[in-house]
Structure 1
Amino acid sequence: MPITETPKIKIYKEDSLSLSSGEGGEIPIFIGVTANETPSANILKFSNYNDAKKSTAGGIGPEADTNTLLSVIKDFFEESKRVAVDDVGVPYIYAKDVGAASAETATNFTNPKEASKTKQDIQVEAYIFKQEDTPANIASVLVAIAESLKTDKQKGKPRIAYATVKGWTVTELARLTSLANGIKDSDVALVEYDQFGKTIARICCTPYYDEPGYYPYRSVIPGTFKERTDTVEETIQANGIIFNHDEKPGKVAYPKINLAVATSYVKPIDERPIDSLIHVNRNVNQLIRDAVEVVYPQLKRRETETYIQEVQADLDLLCANKIKKGYMLEGTTVTAVEYKQNPTQLKLKIKANPVNITGLIEATIYV
């Protein structure tokens, strides 16, 4: 059976509008095709769709069927718009227009990804490839992106990438994980093209400790998404693809994400990593960000005798608060260790025990 009732990790939400605490409001960068002949060389920042659709400098217009990136951004702003006082919103996004670039040249997408590292508030990367690209070329780009994301995480700046291909069906998307050299990574997710922008918005507006499929869409009415049998939905999910459907626990239908999974979900059950569930990976990523935020102000105490003990005390308090609030379970620790290979850095050993899973996730980062 596909997931029809997603994990409900609903806990004590103290400030649902907080952006800095990671409670939703993740800032994305969209990197995708527009067919513009002279795309801007810059990464652009938009706080609304009207700015994005401009054909003048600073926009990625004009509006056209061929302008895939702009269409996706329009959907994003529609879904991320707050409709209730306690809704989480996204104040702005970043975008990189790659024109009509092909995945045949990986740097068309990996160079903007590397350039985006200067924007340290970005937590989500969203890629839109053109329909004519081959599965092998797209998969190669995504594998390179996954490797870069591993480096980002080791430096305490984790992100998750979501990708789609214009016009491709879920069957066509599945080729990206089924190839021998396909993408099967917990930091990279594939998303059905239909409503891609709204799906990214739904994820960005979901608090990091919740499953994105817990919340219904704000801008989608029941009946919008394709009706599929349980068997078909189960197959799509097993292929490591995020898709949407109407959940019908009773007489009322709720448009939702089925289950947010990464491409590593395609692996056999006995090999499937714990963080192949996006809500688990997001939760661990936020622990990493919070740990780095705790440690950074203390780095200049390095010459004091009690430096490590003081840093460790703050990290212990961070983990205790996560456990108390229900975001993590007992066994979650962040340990500060002197990094002998580089005295100017501090090594953090993380053991995370997120809610609703069995097993620990371990990571080592360098600050």
Structure 2
Amino acid sequence: MTFKSNLKAALFSLLALGAVSGTANAQADAPLLSKVPPGTVLTIGDPETQKALELSGLDKELTFKVNWANISGGPQTSEAFRAKALDVGAVAEIPSIFANWNNLPVRNIAYSEHRNPIANPIYRFGIAPGVNVKSLADFRGKRIAFSPGQAQGTLVLRALRAAGLQKSDVTLIELPSTSDVYPKALASRQVDIAPLGGVNIRRYINQYGPEGASLLEHGLRDDPAHLYAPQWVLDDPAKAAALAEYVGLWARAIEWVNQNPEIWIKEYYVGQQGLSREDGEYLVHLEGEQIVPADWTEVKKRHQETINLLAQELGYEPYSVEQIFDNRFEKLAAAALAKSQ
């Protein structure tokens, strides 16, 4: 790690100490209101759930006003939180961890995962044309695309640990994991290995497979997904009650997508995202079935392991997972599913 990177990590660690100590006892103990007070408004950044609610008709059950924001991903969501322009967002495992390290107190309020996370991983490792990589152990000596603060970067660190490798055994190339940056970096041999997700997996191998590009299954769990909200939103009784209602509808929307793949492909992937039907079918197969656990015990255990891994590898101060989960919401998603059946 360079002096600049070390300095950045040190500054972030100082921020983290302030953020963690300031939010350690911030979680509200007050019970959630049983009804959403009139006039409550939430701004929500969760485009997939928005579409699923509209297609299923579940949006008609909302008892509060929603301002939908076309925002997704950790960086955009955290930026919107800081600007007080968003009340809740949908992301993977990592953004809430880094938010608290960067003086942005947030908490996870809902969690989903793949029923079979090993058979249906979110990411595959793309291997550049001409590079011989058949296992995680072959990462030694390779240049790997790395995006600290995002799920793809954490997967790289997990893969290295699983292979018994250190960061010093490879060269991590910091690149944003947006759009088609990683496929292009692989094709141009800027990197040897990069974690690919979504349609980029299919498109990369279709386009560059004839030139010798390949994919590697990592065999690791990479499926956590969350709803998370800033502490100041959760401290507002009216907004917290609205979030509780939304968590229930979010879970039911997930189940609706599970049960209606053909409609989802046609209306969301093709109609809204502009993908081909083949891409839509690929993504449905890639995701498999999404489930909502009724208990967060194992979820928190895995989350704590992630916090500890990132703290050790990137120079941050570790903290307790309890600081980024609002336990008032733990049972709500599964309870809403049970009630609707």
- Say whether the fold is shared (TM-score over 0.5): no
Higher helix share: 2
TM-score of the pair, normalised by structure 2: 0.27
Tell me: higher relative CO, structure 1 or 2? Use CA pairs within 8 A at least 6 residues apart.
Answer: 2
TM-score of the pair, normalised by structure 1: 0.26
